[in-house]
Amino acid sequence: MKNSIISQRIQNIAESATLEMTRRSRELKARGLDIINLSIGEPDFNTPDPVKDAAKDAINNNITHYPPVAGFKILQEAISEKLKRDNNLEYPPEQIVISNGAKQSLANIFLSILDPGDEVIIAAPYWVSYADIIKLAGGKVVALPTDIENHFKLRPEKLAAAINKKTKAFLFNSPSNPTGMVYTVAEMADLAEVLKKYPDLLVVSDEIYEHIIYNGKHVSLASFPEIKDQTVVVNGVSKCYAMTGWRIGYMAGPLFLAKACTKLQGQYTSGPGTISQMAALKAIQNPPQDSEYIHVMVSAFKNRRDLLVEKIKDIPGIKTYVPEGAFYLFPDVSSYFGKSDGETTIHNATDFCLYLLDKANVALVTGDAFGDPRCVRISYATSIDLLEEAMKRIKTALKNLI
């Protein structure tokens, strides 16, 4: 049988570039190469012990049968409490759907709302999977470029100019993957001012990095009352509780959307794993300000960010800035395009990443995958020692490009 059996739907989407680069570095490591992987966006911390204990209790107490499709009521209630406690948002439990990671929540939402040709506006650079999830659902991505000089922030007039009859949704992400930028309250208010004029346009606010902010506190786009009814919040436990492998995310939004996502989920995955749900419950019940764990993790990320920014500034030809959240830096490396070490010529950001993988044994992700071909993404969710070593190697390898 030939691979032509694979549907056009799947042929039209790309492999996740973040996961692909991680797979490549794992393969090279397995072959004995000393690779430093700065391509994956996941905390290098382990899941907190009380969370692990809650999972063990779930097994011992035989919480191992099929869960309700939208997740356990007790977890929906805890998320409802959390949204009130941390974000000043009112979402009753029935408006919350728990899924296998925020990735599935996003897929549920776009599969629930998009018909062929419908448009979704996103600011570029954007997280890799946004574009392919939207395409998979039959939608058209309308990516609005931003630039490093303006800290990759989308201006309201640009958003207003892009909205038309086909616009079904606006997808927003702060703190941002891949840039680490955090929108101010005033900047969000300006966007809300535009969005409120289109009450049928769904606003999808991905807040998965909400606790990883270095100054101040996260504000949810849904907390602007003028757009609350048209907004769906997407969040999860992967990043802020170091629980990437447990696969628990959720959406909180209009009831009709929660019902559609539940119907869809009921036909293709059912509710997420019971043991993971009980672990997530433990994580979410603890207010973040009381969580020693989050403080330790965020202050470690801050130190790493400071080190990375300092080291990058020391490398000629890289344009950078200071990210305010998440654990990514997205510098502009385009001044290296056209340069060569005599053997390899760097034509674009993908060549730049492959060159560093080959010559410095450091894995980064090309900006092309995030909708900005001038940049590369560096994930600094790794130890200070490894970061220092990686930057040393990168600097040495880039010196050979002229």
Mask 160-199, x = binds ligand GLU (CB under 6 A)?
A: -----------------x----------------------
Per partner kind, with CB cut-offs from 5 to 8 A, the member of ligand GLU, ligand PMP, none near residue 400 is none
Prior bond of 178 cis (ω within 30°): yes
> Pseudo-torsion of CA 289, 292, 297, 298, nearest 10°?
30
- Residue with Cβ nearer ligand GLU (224 or 241): 241
What span, in angstroms and rounded, lies between the C-alpha atoms of 52 and 305? 28
Edge-first strand listing for the sheet containing 376-379 = 328-329, 376-379, 365-366
CA distances in angstroms from 373 to 8, 124, 220, 330, 369, listed in the order given: 26, 10, 29, 11, 8
- Residue with Cβ nearer ligand PMP (143 or 401): 143
What span, in angstroms and rounded, lies between the C-alpha atoms of 348 and 337? 6
Give yes or no for residue 132 binding ligand PMP (CB under 6 A).
Answer: no
Give yes or no for residue 128 binding ligand GLU (CB under 6 A).
Answer: yes
CA 286, distance to chain mean position in Å, is 23
Give yes or no for residue 41 binding ligand GLU (CB under 6 A).
Answer: yes
Q: How far is the CB of 41 from ligand PMP (least distance, A)?
A: 5
What span, in angstroms and rounded, lies between the C-alpha atoms of 34 and 43? 20
**Looking at the DSSP assignment, which residues form a beta bridge with residue 377?**
365
> Looking at beta carbons, which residue is closest to ligand GLU?
41
Per partner kind, with CB cut-offs from 5 to 8 A, the member of ligand PMP, ligand GLU, none near residue 125 is none
Give yes or no for residue 325 binding ligand GLU (CB under 6 A).
Answer: no
Give yes or no for residue 100 binding ligand GLU (CB under 6 A).
Answer: no
* Phi, psi for residue 251 in degrees, rounded to 5: -120, 150
Query: Which segments within 19-74 are labelled E, that is strand?
Result: 36-37
How do strand 365-366 and strand 376-379 relate by DSSP bridges? antiparallel
Q: How far is the CB of 43 from ligand PMP (least distance, A)?
A: 11
Per partner kind, with CB cut-offs from 5 to 8 A, the member of ligand PMP, ligand GLU, none near residue 262 is none
* Interface pick for ligand PMP out of 102, 109, 202, 251 (rule CB under 6 A): 102
Per partner kind, with CB cut-offs from 5 to 8 A, the member of ligand GLU, ligand PMP, none near residue 206 is ligand PMP
What span, in angstroms and rounded, lies between the C-alpha atoms of 114 and 137? 6
Question: Which of 150, 139, 153, 229 is CA-nearest to residue 185?
Answer: 153
* Interface pick for ligand PMP out of 72, 91, 110, 127 (rule CB under 6 A): 127
What span, in angstroms and rounded, lies between the C-alpha atoms of 376 and 350? 8
- Residue with Cβ nearer ligand GLU (103 or 151): 103
Q: How far is the CB of 42 from ligand GLU (least distance, A)?
A: 6
* Interface pick for ligand GLU out of 99, 129, 146, 230 (rule CB under 6 A): 129
Mask 39-58, x = binds ligand PMP (CB under 6 A)?
A: --x-----------------
Assign 363 to helix, strand or coil: strand
* Phi, psi for residue 401 in degrees, rounded to 5: -90, 120
> Pseudo-torsion of CA 98, 86, 175, 154, nearest 10°?
100
Give yes or no for residue 323 binding ligand PMP (CB under 6 A).
Answer: no
CA distances in angstroms from 255 to 95, 203, 220, 266, listed in the order given: 5, 14, 19, 16
Give yes or no for residue 103 binding ligand PMP (CB under 6 A).
Answer: yes
Q: How far is the CB of 165 from ligand PMP (least distance, A)?
A: 28
Tell me the Cα Rg of the chain.
21
Q: How far is the CB of 107 from ligand GLU (least distance, A)?
A: 12
* Interface pick for ligand GLU out of 36, 38, 40, 240 (rule CB under 6 A): 40
> Looking at beta carbons, which residue is closest to ligand PMP?
101
* Contact of 367 with 374, CB cutoff 8 Å: yes
Residues binding ligand GLU (CB under 6 A): 16, 18-19, 40-42, 127-129, 177
Residues binding ligand PMP (CB under 6 A): 41, 101-103, 127, 173, 177, 206, 208, 236, 238, 244, 249
